[in-house]
Amino acid sequence: MQGILTIGEILVEIMRKEKDVPFNFPGEFIGPYPSGAPAIFADAAAKLGFPSAIIGAVGNDEFGMLVLNRLKNDGVDVNHIKILKNYLTGIAFISYFSDGSRKFIFHLKHSASSRLSAKDIDENYVAQFKHLHIMGSALSTSRSIRQACYKAVEIAYNRGASISIDPNIRPELMSIQKIREICKPVIDKANIILPNIEELKILTGIKDMDSACSKVLKEGAEIVAVKMGAQGSTIYWKNEKKHIPAFKVREVDPTGAGDTYDAAFIVGLLKGWSIEKTGYYANAAGALAVTKFGPMEGCPTHSEILELIKREWPEILNMFKA
């Protein structure tokens, strides 16, 4: 087995050009940009030089071709992305605010992505992969895509592949309680959980991060990597804990940073790196992701990550020469 597989929504994003302009006021937008959390993840892994693939669907339209071409050009295996004639590619509109918050309007429920189903999951294809990554946003898109993800998880689990999940909670798509319910079947079989700090609280019902991660590990996960934005990340495994500080960069657009972090983290683990080395690598990848406008535009290459590490923390660069 080799490579990383993900499944889920493929869409474009159209964003407010300026901050603090709510959707109920006229204003300028820019885009479309290739997006969809699983698509960003797959693209980020491929740009890091690791074999990656995505199972999904787009419409037979220019938005779909935009994302499909980007993924293909960056080295993602797109052979299992369906092009549907009777459905349109999904769209997300985003508005940014000065306090760091974002508002989303999703057009996904009747999009091409929502039509993906369990029958689109080829057992022999899924069995080729060393790792399967699932996003909570994919589970929230539609019941049929949720069943597709569950089927892939069963195949990967039974074949001994490692599994990760990013809860990627989107209240705009589904209630918090429902998201907890639909994530549980994947979390129960996942080796690696990749929440942000708020998602960790939501999933466990525990405010204290140490206690929440202890609960997740006791329930079967091997690693919990908590993304903390400007505070970096904290990684829990066995009876150990490691905080990795954030890299200092100029933030342009935070969308996609968590997905890029996920990809770099999984790539590091699959390369057999230590938790500490993997954590620094993932933090650097996530930091670089926010330096460009557009959710997929900032996905870095391996050399760009090393350049950031060299500039910010040259004392740890030797860690990456081995």
SS (H, E, C) 129-161: CCEEEEEHHHHHHCHHHHHHHHHHHHHHHHHCC
> Over the chain (322 residues), what is each successive 10-residue block's mean pLDDT?
93 92 90 96 98 98 98 98 96 89 87 95 97 95 95 98 91 76 94 95 93 95 96 95 95 91 98 97 97 94 96 90 70
Q: Which value, to the nearest 10 degrees, does the dihedral of the CA atoms of residues 65, 298, 245, 166 take?
A: -10
Residue-level pLDDT at 282: 98
Q: Which is nearest to 138 in space by CA: 105, 102, 169?
A: 169
CB of 157 closer than 8 Å to CB of 163: yes
Tell me the three state secondary structure of residue 60: coil
Angle between helices 197-204 and 176-187 (to 10 degrees): 90
CB 89 within 8 Å of CB 59:
yes
What is the CB neighbour count within 10 angstroms for residue 13? Answer: 26
Rg (CA), the chain: 18
Tell me what pLDDT residue 1 has. Answer: 65
Whether the Cβ atoms of residue 319 and residue 275 lie closer than 8 Å to each other:
no
* H or E element at residue 259: helix 257-270
User: What whole-number distance in Å separates Cα of residue 52 and Cα of residue 267?
Assistant: 10
3-state secondary structure of 229: helix
Nearest one of 63, 56, 62, 86 to 12, comparing CA atoms: 63
d(CA 2, CA 263): 15
What's residue 321's pLDDT? 79
Task: Write the CA distances from 282 to 70, 74, 136, 139, integer angstroms.
Answer: 22, 19, 20, 24
Cα–Cα distances in angstroms (integers) from residue 287 to residues 20, 104, 107, 230, 304, in the given order = 23, 22, 28, 9, 11
At residue 318, the pLDDT reads 87
Give the span between the Cα atoms of 75 and 291, in whole angstroms. 22
Domains of the chain: which residue ranges? 4-320
pLDDT at 322: 60
Question: Encoding tokens for residue 8?
Answer: 């889920």
- β-strand partners of 127: none
Q: How many helices (H) and strands (E) does the chain have?
A: 11, 13
DSSP class of residue 238? T
What gap in Å lies between CA 84 and CA 61, rounded to an integer? 9
Q: Structure pTM?
A: 0.95
The predicted structure's pLDDT at residue 80: 97
DSSP symbols for 294-321: STTTTPPPHHHHHHHHHHH-GGGGGGGT
| pLDDT the model gives residue 118 | 97
CATH superfamily for domain 4-320:
Ribokinase (3.40.1190.20)
